[in-house]
Amino acid sequence: MTTIKLHNTKTRKKEVFTPIDPENVRMYVCGPTVYDRAHIGNARPVVVFDVLYRLLRHVYGADHVTYVRNFTDVDDKINARAKESGREIGEITAETTQWYLDDMRALGAMDPNEMPRATAYIPQMIAMIEKLIADDFAYAKDGHVLFRVRAYKHYGALSGRSVDDMIAGARVEVAPYKEDPMDFVLWKPSSDDLPGWDSPWGRGRPGWHIECSAMAKDLLGETFDIHGGGNDLQFPHHENEVAQSCCASGHAEDGGGFANYWLHNEMLQVEGKKMSKSLGNFFTVHDLLEQGIPGEVIRFVFLSTHYRKPMDWTAKKAAEAEKTLSRWAAMALDGSVGEPPSDVVQALADDLNTPLALAAMHALYKNGDADGLRSALELLGLGELDFGQAVKGMVYRMDDMVLGPLEVLLAETRAKAMETKDFSEVDRLKAALVAAGVEVRMSKAGVELLPAAGFDPAKLEGLL
């Protein structure tokens, strides 16, 4: 069996992955708060953990992996969106949840086995909070319930911070109902105009952190294999999940239980800068898809950078990705799906080294291994979405990236030939283009190249 190694945030080192039960490998990844479209930064963890999901399914079997990714559908951002738009909360969350699913599927992401909504797990959250209060890890005051951070001696172990350093360096809410500034909310009161549920502490709604703990426990058990998300969630969200979950399950002293392996992906930039609406470089996944950038191209750009390194989205990378995928598609469409090549699998098994996997696929293309390339594309999620049509469509969209520069070259060569009266180079270029399935149109107005039936961009290599 393939040995998988993963960098565990919990231990700060790469470790051999040993599941609790190889017959039931379990993974939880924090999902979106559904109030708007997902931006491309939101999509990075989806692609990262989709690759891990695919690898686990390949190694342990599709029926032996359980992947849970939640939807937060009760949140102050959702309440604010409802208030400003005048729409019902349920209508907003249903719409944005479907947007999210559609956009992530367009990136080749498989649906997880379970996609729980927070509002469906309120009783489980209340039960966990009651247990924490009973064991003195939480307290109720003024309609709020808060977790006693200092009651859990391992707090800060995941993020590598001490409580005192956190207080000195962080913005923490000072409130009269808190015993300590670091204590975080498990339950808060709701006014009549906000969503709320009856509880032992009055009508209210859960804090953000308790949601994932309750859903993970209900669907995966008190202890499971992998917990993932973006590194922006490492503190405070994941730190708080660990604290409340360990204390609720009787592991307050040893700090054990909950997730054995923690994986965090780095953040994303756009053209070398932090994504910001004020800078005009803020893109949703839907924006890119609407611009005609195929989901496979977006996914390929993500996979070109290791998940633990910052990623820079650029137009140049997207163009290069489309060019590469189009070349691969021209070959792989004639291939059949079988066992993926071992060097591709081994690259992924080495802490999801997707750049190394793509390098191995470049070698498959160079060596003309259509079956291996097609199988590797399927494993990496670049062949799930109607491969024949979606990727073939990219082949016929190469005008701007491949044929455009060749139009310029042919026009310049033709202009020189008009002066020297030597058209041999023009004829050579034209013959090569025609052989690659390109229709060549030359007139007084200029040169125009159009992809025709049988267009194969791979045959154009070396002309520029």
**Confidence band, pLDDT 50/70/90 cuts, at residue 453:** low
Residues 325-364: pLDDT tens digits? 888 887 888 889 999 999 999 999 999 999 999 999 999 9
34, 93 Cβ separation under 8 angstroms: yes
394 or 79: whose pLDDT is higher? 79
DSSP state of 335: S
Q: What is the pTM of this model?
A: 0.84
**At residue 399, does pLDDT exceed 70?**
no
**What mean pLDDT do residues 260-270 have?**
96
**Confidence band, pLDDT 50/70/90 cuts, at residue 211:** very high
**Confidence band, pLDDT 50/70/90 cuts, at residue 386:** very low
Among the listed residues 187, 111, 182, the one whose alpha carbon sits nearest the alpha carbon of residue 144: 187
Q: How confident is the model at residue 385, as a pLDDT?
A: 41
CA distances from 118 to 62, 132, 258 (A): 26, 19, 19
236 prior amide bond cis, ω within 30: yes
Residues 94-110: pLDDT tens digits? 999 999 999 999 999 99
Q: How far is it, in rounded angstroms, from Cα 113 to Cα 66? A: 6
Greatest mean pLDDT among 160-169, 231-240, 451-460 lies in 231-240
**At residue 400, does pLDDT exceed 90?**
no
Q: How confident is the model at residue 398, as a pLDDT?
A: 47
**At residue 172, does pLDDT exceed 80?**
no
> Position 77: which residue type?
K
**What mean pLDDT do residues 162-170 have?**
65
Structure tokens at 383: 């062949």
**At residue 401, does pLDDT exceed 70?**
no
**At residue 322, does pLDDT exceed 90?**
no
CA distances from 167 to 174, 187, 191, 247 (A): 11, 22, 30, 22
**At residue 396, does pLDDT exceed 50?**
no
Among the listed residues 202, 213, 191, the one whose alpha carbon sits nearest the alpha carbon of residue 140: 202
> Which domains can be identified in the chain, with CATH numbers?
5-137+146-170+207-265 (3.40.50.620), 268-395 (no CATH), 399-460 (no CATH)
**What mean pLDDT do residues 403-410 have?**
83
CA distances from 37 to 107, 208, 416 (A): 14, 20, 52
**What mean pLDDT do residues 148-155 have?**
96
- In percent, the amount of the chain with pLDDT more than 70 equals 94
Average pLDDT of every residue of the chain: 91
Among the listed residues 115, 123, 32, 36, the one whose alpha carbon sits nearest the alpha carbon of residue 72: 32
Q: How far is it, in rounded angstroms, from Cα 355 to Cα 117? A: 34
H or E element in which residue 212 lies = helix 208-220
**Confidence band, pLDDT 50/70/90 cuts, at residue 278:** confident
Q: How confident is the model at residue 231, as a pLDDT?
A: 95
CB atoms within 10 A of CB 270: 21
Residues 19-60: pLDDT tens digits? 999 999 999 999 999 999 999 999 999 999 999 999 999 999
